C-alpha cells in the first residue's frame, strides 16, 4: 500500500492510498477518513460507493460526509468505481468500462481479467483496510449514489450478515429492466439474464428481502428518475413487507448538491445501527 496524501480533517485524517489489487489485477486507489476516535482504538466503518464516471475522489470532496462522520466517530471508505490504467479494457461510452464497473464480477471478454468489482469491494479492499487501519470489521454499514447505490443495495443483500445497515442516494433500483443496466450487465455477464438477477436490487428484494435497516432517498426532480425506477424497489419492499424508509425529496436532482443535503441524515441513520 502506498500513501498518496493525508490531510487533517475535522480532527481526524482524510487519506488517499493506492495498492495492487488481486481482484482487479491492477493498481487501485481509495480514500479513507479516520475520525479522531480512531486514535483510541478500532472504529465502525461506513462504505461509500460512487456512481458512473466517478473516482474515489467525488464523494470524498463533494458529499460533505466527514464532518458528520467525525461527530459520530465513524470511518468512511471511498473506493474507486472500476479498475483503471494501461491495459485495462475501456469503452468510448461514459456508462461502460473504466468508471462504470457496476460492482459485478465480469465473465465476458474483454472485461473479465480486470472488472471484478464485486470481489474488490467484498473481499480484496476489506482484507487490506482491516489489516492496515484501526477499523472494526464487526461494525460495518454501506451506502452509495446512483450506480453506487445499486452496488450498496446488492452487496448488502448479497452478503447477509456483513453490514448492520444500508442506504442509498438515487440508486439504480431495477437494472435488468432499464437502459442503465441491461447494456452493462449483458456486456459484463453475457446474454443469460439469469446471471443478472444477483445484481438487481428489486429482484433480490422480491426473492430474499432484507433484515437490516434500509434508507433510500431519491430526488423528485432527478433527471434520470425513469432510469432509476425507485417505484420498482418500493413495490418489492412492500411485497416482502420489509421495514424501510423510502423517500422522494421534492425538487432535488441527481447531483452532489442533493447528496450533500441529506448526507447528515444517512450518517446518523448508520450511526444508530453501528452503535446499537
- Is residue 124 flagged as an active site residue? no
Residue 46: which residues within 8 A CB-CB, separation 6 or more? 65, 69, 74, 75, 76, 77, 140, 141, 142, 143, 267, 270, 274
Residue of 145, 150, 174, 254 with catalytic role: 254
Tell me how far apart the alpha carbons of residues 201 and 34 are, in angstroms, rounded to a whole number: 30
- Is residue 270 flagged as an active site residue? no
Distance of CA 273 to the CA centre of its chain: 18
- Is residue 222 flagged as an active site residue? yes
Residue of 170, 222, 266, 270 with catalytic role: 222
Tell me how far apart the alpha carbons of residues 177 and 33 are, in angstroms, rounded to a whole number: 36
DSSP annotation of 83 reads -
Q: Is the dihedral of CA 174, 243, 223, 30 positive or negative?
A: negative
Beta strand pairing status for 12-21 and 26-34?
A: antiparallel
Residue of 50, 82, 146, 167 with catalytic role: 146
Instruction: Please give the positions annotated as active site.
Output: 146, 222, 254
Amino acid at each position: 500500500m502506498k500513501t498518496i496524501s493525508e490531510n487533517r480533517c475535522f480532527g481526524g485524517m482524510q487519506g488517499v492510498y493506492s495498492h495492487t489489487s488481486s481482484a482487479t489485477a491492477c493498481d487501485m486507489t481509495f480514500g479513507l477518513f479516520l475520525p479522531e476516535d480512531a486514535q483510541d482504538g478500532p472504529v465502525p466503518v461506513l462504505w461509500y460507493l460512487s456512481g458512473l464516471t466517478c473516482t474515489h475522489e467525488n464523494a470524498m470532496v463533494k458529499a460533505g460526509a466527514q464532518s458528520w462522520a467525525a461527530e459520530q466517530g465513524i470511518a468512511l471508505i471511498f473506493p474507486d468505481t472500476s479498475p483503471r490504467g494501461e491495459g485495462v479494457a475501456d469503452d468510448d461510452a461514459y456508462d461502460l468500462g473504466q468508471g462504470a464497473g457496476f460492482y459485478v464480477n465480469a465473465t465476458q471478454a474483454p472485461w473479465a481479467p480486470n472488472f471484478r468489482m464485486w470481489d474488490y469491494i467484498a473481499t480484496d479492499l476489506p482484507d487490506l483496510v482491516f489489516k492496515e487501519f484501526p477499523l472494526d470489521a464487526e461494525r460495518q454499514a454501506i451506502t452509495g449514489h446512483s450506480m453506487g447505490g445499486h452496488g450498496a443495495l446488492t452487496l448488502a443483500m448479497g452478503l447477509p450478515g456483513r453490514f448492520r445497515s444500508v442506504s442509498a442516494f438515487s440508486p439504480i433500483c431495477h437494472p435488468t429492466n432499464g437502459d442503465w443496466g441491461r447494456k452493462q450487465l449483458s456486456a459484463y455477464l453475457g446474454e443469460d439474464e439469469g446471471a443478472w438477477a444477483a445484481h438487481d436490487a428489486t429482484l433480490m428484494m422480491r426473492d430474499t428481502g432484507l433484515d437490516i435497516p434500509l434508507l433510500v432517498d431519491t430526488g423528485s426532480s432527478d433527471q434520470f428518475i425513469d432510469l432509476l425506477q425507485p417505484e420498482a424497489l418500493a413495490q418489492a419492499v412492500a411485497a416482502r413487507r420489509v421495514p424501510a424508509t423510502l423517500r422522494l425529496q421534492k425538487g432535488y436532482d441527481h447531483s452532489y448538491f442533493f447528496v450533500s443535503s441529506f448526507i447528515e441524515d444517512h450518517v446518523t441513520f448508520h450511526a444508530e445501527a453501528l452503535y446499537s
